[in-house]
Structure 1
């Protein structure tokens, strides 16, 4: 039986600049993405019908998963099939390792993995341009999940341009047991910044730090306009950021709209030390270490 497995990475927003909402309700963004070594694996097999099964590790607890009809993997399959004038078929299994609803784009990674896997399974040879267009229709972070590495995102984040990145970066990620609504964080941003400029702030210093491969310069340049509203809604996130920096992280940052907190560390050894210190707190039962930048959605071969 023919099958394909595709691995897709989590993302961190190293810079997330947010402008005032446009007439269509979307906020213009200028963001710098980095793909990091936390992955979801999606395996698809030939089948006469369509099905999706999601496997989550014990540490994610009793999360509420979307139905097959509402799953972003199903949406990806339908859009790709419609593009080629065929019916979506296949048996999909998603093995999750990216925190769910944590600001690390796990759903977007699954959508990107589905596009790559189904394109190969169905033998439809979709062009890169069309894959990126379909990805943008699925969500702002999906095109980056295809591209990976480090990249500049504009528009709603869906217009992606690869950046020069000479560093090897080490991160500690601390997921939260409780989710944080992305729309609620954006609404609170609007409340805190009623006079926000139309154009989001630039990321020139951060882009230069990536090109130089300097972790201290990168730490100084990390920026997230959604961090203050997220902490205002969940003050314990600010306490966690302070704790990670006190334990030796170069800088703590809320990932996207949260609630996952990430910490840039000087080396792999430093990341393991920070992770060990944060793991001692029972309020943070899961602490993950990841490197970046890594590849976007790609086929996995065994043997």
Structure 2
């Protein structure tokens, strides 16, 4: 049977400006997405029995039973949505997801797998849909999915699904502090609403400083402009996250903040050498369950085999 392998990156939010909740329950966002070189791999093997199956393993190939493998998995939903679009009910697929992106870590791991599944199934089923057509399906699946098809840097508006590419003049270096226990994105947004008590702006501020810093390629300027409006809500639910953020208040990190709805903490570093040195120090401190060095921007979902 024909198989296709797709690699898809994680994302962090260089800016996450959050407006008030909309009538549909989503929040109006102005965010800057940044893809980094931590990847999940999705291998799609075609069948003609109409079955859509998901297998999830870690980077060592060990099963991850805490990650859904039924139709609640976004990758399975992506395959089913694409099959409906192709109007070919007999198309089946086995999706093997090899995860390196932290689960429920604020880095869009589920959305990455959905983007990878869309691209892989379109290829393995010879669907023939263009990237623009896949973008339309991606927006149905989730706010982060369209960005992860393309990667790089992008401004996200609406609920995040309206994506405009943004150029940058530099590679940026990161150290990630990862927690074993994830966080629920809906719970963090609900806490944001509770804390703001309806005072949130309908239209969030534009992240002009981050966009300018990407254009200049200046990591210090980027550090000064980064902001995550969900930080207080995440800390309200998990006060212990403050200890990890406090590490970023002194050099060598230029800054530290939560990625998305948390709890992964990202530290912007001046260069690759300081990132390696700081990662060793961070591991020794034992604040996080895992420490990872990364850089971005990285390419979006792409076929690798």
Question: What TM-score, normalized to structure 2?
Answer: 0.94
Measured in 1, the distance between the counterparts of 2:62 and 2:208 equals 36
Residue 282 of structure 1, CA deviation: 3.0
Residue 247 of structure 1, CA deviation: 5.2
Partner of residue 210, structure 1: 214
Task: State which of 68, 71, 84 in structure 2 corresponds to 1:69.
Answer: 71
Q: 1:240-279 counterparts in 2 under 5 A?
A: 240-246=244-250, 248-279=252-283
| Aligned positions, number | 301
Q: 1:190-205 counterparts in 2 under 5 A?
A: 190-194=193-197, 195-205=199-209
- What SS class does the counterpart of residue 27 from structure 2 fall into? coil
Measured in 1, the distance between the counterparts of 2:27 and 2:281 equals 37
Partner of residue 45, structure 2: 45
Offset from partner CA, 1:35-87 (integer Å, 9 cap, x none): 00100001112223332111124799966111322211110011001001012
Q: Which runs of 4 or more aligned residues in structure 1 lie more than 3 Å from their structure 2 counterparts after TM superposition?
A: 57-63
Q: Flag structure 1 segments of 5+ consecutive residues without an equivalent.
A: none
The answer to which structure has the higher strand fraction is 2
Does residue 102 in structure 1 map to residue 102 in structure 2?
A: no
Task: State which of 162, 166, 188 in structure 1 corresponds to 2:165.
Answer: 162
Measured in 2, the distance between the counterparts of 1:63 and 1:144 equals 27
Partner of residue 181, structure 2: 178
Q: Flag structure 2 segments of 5+ consecutive residues without an equivalent.
A: none
Partner of residue 298, structure 2: 294
Measured in 2, the distance between the counterparts of 1:117 and 1:96 equals 16
CA spacing shift, 1:52–1:139, aligned 2, 3 Å:
same
RMSD of aligned Cα (Å): 1.7
Partner of residue 33, structure 1: 33
Does residue 123 in structure 1 map to residue 139 in structure 2?
A: no
- What SS class does the counterpart of residue 199 from structure 1 fall into? coil
- What SS class does the counterpart of residue 290 from structure 2 fall into? coil
